[in-house]
């Protein structure tokens, strides 16, 4: 028996070792044949060794021994000539050795399978955490499910307001369902097995839908014979479920359910994060839309007030000056005190008039609409230099052309806001403004030699919130460089090509 024991200990490859072991045992026992019946990996297998005298006419003695350690259905059958019957202990010894060997192989196979499962789930988890886009994530999820639990069709349903919405699906097109299954909605309390899956906390398997009178056959699911539902649970809260279907009955096993449930634990958090991210994105888009409406209302109101100041208030002040001139003529030149008061009133009206003109221009400069961004900025920057006593240098492309109206207005407001902030906060005496158009984008650089600020202030004040909001509406971006006592540089980039149809 030493050779047989050695063979069992040397080779861990069951496919190569067992036939040799059976041959050695058969030759040792001088058997007619030996049959080994066993289950490995849920597959029934049978190995047969036939000796050189297997077809002899001798009467056959059969000895069957069960192999309980490696599985309740495993057994070995010895066939010998009646004249070659050996002591019972030899058969038991060989059977025990094979039983231990098969048991060890089962443990090794189970360990390898578990290791592969862990590796597969880790790989799938990495794939599922590679995106926060909900639709992309759900598509990845149903694709990866097939690696652990084969299916014909699969779907992911998410809970919202007590209803289950089919949010992703795969395979239905192979059964003639070309329509959009995303509009399928289930009421868990009124749909067979849905409530059990959602609130039972574990997978539910239906072996044959045709044997269940409560199963409701839907147009998109007429092919389903085997069904498995698995809950998606995050921190004790069920967020939905996924279902796997096969067109043949009795397909899904307990092992399939375990694998699917193991993946569900990893996928649930990723799906919940993606759903939350989707809600945040939607809220952000709504906020951007609201911001765009506010900016639009502001600009319309500025335009209205500017026109009101120019057309009505300006005309009223002009009329008031004309009346003062008439009054001056009506008063005797010798009445010095009255003439002095009239001149004083005239100066006040003139100052108010000039102030109104400047306010109307700041609200909406007519040169921006009539002559474009370069002319409007040049006029504004020259006036800024005179009013604030800050040297302002404006540089731009010589061949700078007209831009879409929203881009020109946004660029003008950014310069206006930036220069206002410099005058209020920077304590600068020089500011450089550069305007360029390059490779489909407008670049604005505004640099001062003021006191600068720490980086945290860039998001908390200095009018930069308004600049960012305007840039968000046109897909632009903002970069700020600032150091204490070394000044600040604002760099703005605005893509123009996508708005090019709006050029006047």
Domains of the chain: 2-116 (3.30.450.40), 130-276 (3.30.450.40), 371-502 (3.30.565.10)
Question: CB neighbours of 137 closer than 8 A, spacing ≥ 6?
Answer: 128, 131, 270, 271, 274
Q: What is the dihedral sign for C-alpha 291, 296, 298, 299? A: positive
The structure tokens listed for 195 are 């409530």
Q: Give the range among 105-119, 223-237, 317-331, 416-430 with minimum mean pLDDT.
A: 105-119
Q: With a cut of 50, say whether residue 147 has pLDDT above it.
A: yes
Q: For 49-80, what is each residue's pLDDT tens digit?
A: 888 766 666 678 888 999 888 777 889 999 88
Give the model's confidence band at 15: pLDDT under 50 very low, under 70 low, under 90 confident, else very high: very low
Q: Give the range among 126-135, 423-432, 459-468 with minimum mean pLDDT.
A: 459-468
Q: With a cut of 50, say whether residue 11 has pLDDT above it.
A: no
Q: With a cut of 80, say whether residue 438 has pLDDT above it.
A: yes
Mean pLDDT (whole number) for 95-120: 76
Mean pLDDT (whole number) for 218-232: 89
Q: With a cut of 70, say whether residue 3 has pLDDT above it.
A: no
Q: What is the dihedral sign for C-alpha 189, 194, 199, 205? A: positive
Average pLDDT, the chain: 81
The residue behind tokens 């634990």 is 265
Q: What is residue 328's predicted lDDT score, i.e. its pLDDT?
A: 79
Q: For 262-302, what is each residue's pLDDT tens digit?
A: 888 888 888 888 777 777 777 767 676 776 676 677 766 76
Q: What is residue 292's predicted lDDT score, i.e. its pLDDT?
A: 64
Cα gap 128→242, rounded to integer Å = 15
Residue 42 burial by CB count (10 A; 0-12/13-18/19+): exposed, middle or buried? exposed
Q: What is residue 175's predicted lDDT score, i.e. its pLDDT?
A: 85
Q: With a cut of 80, say whether residue 176 has pLDDT above it.
A: no
pTM for the full predicted model: 0.48
Q: With a cut of 90, say whether residue 392 has pLDDT above it.
A: yes
Q: With a cut of 50, say whether residue 8 has pLDDT above it.
A: no
Q: With a cut of 80, say whether residue 362 has pLDDT above it.
A: no
Mean pLDDT (whole number) for 98-126: 74
Q: What is residue 6's predicted lDDT score, i.e. its pLDDT?
A: 44
Mean pLDDT (whole number) for 358-383: 81
Neighbour count for residue 433 (Cβ, 10 Å):
23
Among residues of the chain, what percentage have pLDDT more than 70?
82
Q: With a cut of 70, say whether residue 459 has pLDDT above it.
A: no
Among residues of the chain, what percentage have pLDDT more than 90?
20
Q: For 191-207, what is each residue's pLDDT tens digit?
A: 999 999 998 989 999 99
Beta bridge partners of 444: 435, 492
Side-chain-side CA neighbours of residue 136 (13 Å): 11
Look up residue 59 and give its DSSP letter. Answer: P
Q: How far is CA 72 from CA 19, 37, 108, in A?
A: 21, 11, 18
Cα gap 7→9, rounded to integer Å = 5
Residue 17 burial by CB count (10 A; 0-12/13-18/19+): exposed, middle or buried? middle
Q: With a cut of 60, say whether residue 7 has pLDDT above it.
A: no
């Amino acid at each position: 028996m030493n050779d047989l024991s050695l063979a069992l200990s040397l080779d861990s490859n069951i496919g190569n070792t067992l036939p040799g072991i059976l041959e050695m045992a058969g030759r040792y026992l001088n058997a007619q044949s030996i049959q080994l019946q066993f289950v490995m990996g849920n597959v029934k297998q049978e190995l047969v060794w036939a000796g050189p005298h297997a077809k002899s006419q001798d009467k056959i003695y059969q000895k069957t021994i069960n192999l309980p350690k490696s599985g309740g259905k495993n057994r070995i059958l010895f066939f010998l000539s009646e004249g070659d019957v050996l002591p019972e202990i030899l058969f038991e010894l060989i059977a025990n050795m094979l039983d231990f060997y098969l048991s060890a192989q089962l443990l090794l196979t189970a360990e390898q399978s578990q290791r592969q499962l862990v590796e597969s789930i880790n790989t799938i988890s990495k794939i599922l955490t590679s995106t926060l886009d909900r639709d992309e994530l759900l598509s990845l999820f149903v694709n990866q499910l097939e690696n652990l639990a084969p299916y014909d069709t699969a779907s992911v349903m998410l809970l919202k307001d007590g209803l289950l919405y089919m949010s992703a699906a795969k395979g239905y097109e192979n059964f003639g369902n070309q329509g959009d299954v995303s509009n399928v909605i289930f009421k868990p309390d009124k749909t067979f097995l849905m409530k059990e899956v959602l609130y039972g906390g574990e997978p539910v398997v239906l072996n044959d839908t045709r044997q269940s009178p409560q199963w409701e056959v839907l147009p998109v699911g007429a092919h389903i014979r085997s069904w498995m539902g698995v809950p998606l649970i995050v921190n004790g809260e069920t967020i939905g479920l996924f279902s796997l279907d096969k067109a043949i009955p009795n397909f899904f096993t307990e092992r399939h359910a375990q694998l699917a449930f193991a993946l569900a634990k990893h996928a649930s958090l990723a799906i919940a994060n993606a759903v939350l991210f989707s809600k945040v994105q939607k809220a952000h888009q709504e906020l951007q839309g609201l911001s765009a409406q506010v900016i639009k209302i502001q600009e319309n109101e500025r335009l209205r007030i500017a026109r009101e100041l120019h057309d009505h208030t300006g005309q009223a002040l002009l009329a008031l000056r004309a009346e003062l001139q008439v009054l001056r003529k009506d008063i005797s030149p010798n009445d010095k005190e009255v003439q002095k008061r009239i001149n004083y009133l005239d100066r006040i009206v003139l100052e108010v008039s000039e102030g109104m003109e400047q306010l109307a221009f700041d609200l909406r400069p007519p040169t921006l609409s009539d002559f474009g961004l370069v002319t409007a900025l040049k006029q504004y920057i020259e006036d800024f230099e005179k009013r604030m006593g800050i040297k302002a240098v404006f540089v731009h492309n010589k061949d700078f052309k007209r831009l879409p109206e929203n881009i020109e207005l946004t660029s003008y407001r950014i310069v206006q806001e930036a220069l206002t902030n410099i005058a209020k906060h920077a304590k600068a005496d020089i500011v450089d403004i550069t305007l360029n158009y390059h490779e489909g984008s407008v670049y604005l650089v505004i640099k001062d030699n003021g006191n600068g600020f720490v980086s945290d202030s860039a998001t908390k004040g200095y009018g930069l919130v308004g600049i960012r909001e305007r840039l968000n509406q046109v897909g632009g971006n903002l970069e700020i460089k600032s150091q204490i006592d070394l000044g600040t540089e604002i760099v703005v980039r605005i893509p123009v090509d996508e708005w090019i149809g709006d050029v006047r």
